[in-house]
Amino acid sequence: MINEPLTNKTERIQKILSAYGVASRREAERMILAGRILVNGFSAELGQTANPVVDDIKIDGKPLPDMNKHYYIMLNKPCGYITSMTDERSRKIVMELVADISDKTRIYPIGRLDKESEGLLLLTNDGQFANVVMHPKFGLTKTYVVHVRGDIKEAIEKLGMPIEIDSHVVRALSVKQLEEVANGAVIEIIINEGRNRQVRKMCHECGLDVVSLRRVAIGSVKLGNLPLGKWRHLKETEIKSLTAT
């Protein structure tokens, strides 16, 4: 289960920022290095510790958010948006699609979907919830529907075997053909990892060209009929299903 939120404890700055839903720990480290975090009026340093109750911690000049209100959001991400909080190249970011929430509290994406992919993306301001969803040790499955071109019969057999990608051996939990289309097929791939562009790379290694890729489920939480580009709050039962570890 999710651990209790940090209260009157001395912890590393990035852990505090994660627990308060400011950002993931990795993103928090980047914020510290960029000088965006102040502790008692001084720029924070990597490895520094603080007590969120006693010390004055500010993010871009603003205090830590209220921990009493957590948000758990499901977004149907369209193609063309990058999964990022900001972008120096002025590309479209997923935060634009949840601006009515992110203007009130700082939420951030859990994991990533690449720019060319669409589908289920979770966002939250609960760092411990995000850690449970993302961390490989919890083994949450991720289900993708992929339109591919190529030799489907041979490729599906290969996709079910161990495949080396970026010096790591990965394997799909399940691969099946959903329908046959011109010059290819629509297939379902289920994995319990989340390496960078993993499904696309698996398909490429098996001789398939990916036409489109959509994530339709994380664990038992399904995208359903949520319109493209829209979001909704997760139901309590969905939150519990993702954290029942």
Query: Measuring CA to CA, which residue among 216, 197, 218 is closest to residue 110?
Result: 218
Catalytic residue among 55, 114, 126, 151: 114
Tokens encoding 67? 């921990």
Q: Token match 């999964």: residue?
A: 83
Contact status, residue 206 vs residue 165, Cβ threshold 8 Å: no
Contact status, residue 72 vs residue 95, Cβ threshold 8 Å: no
**Could you confirm whether 114 is annotated as catalytic?**
yes
Query: Measuring CA to CA, which residue among 15, 17, 18, 31 is closest to residue 86?
Result: 31
CA 129 – CA 135 distance, rounded (Å): 10
Query: Buried b / exposed e across 118-157, counting CB within 10 Å, b at 16+?
Result: bbbbbbbbbbbbbbbbeeeeeebebbbbbbbbbebeebbe
Q: Which residues are catalytic?
A: 114
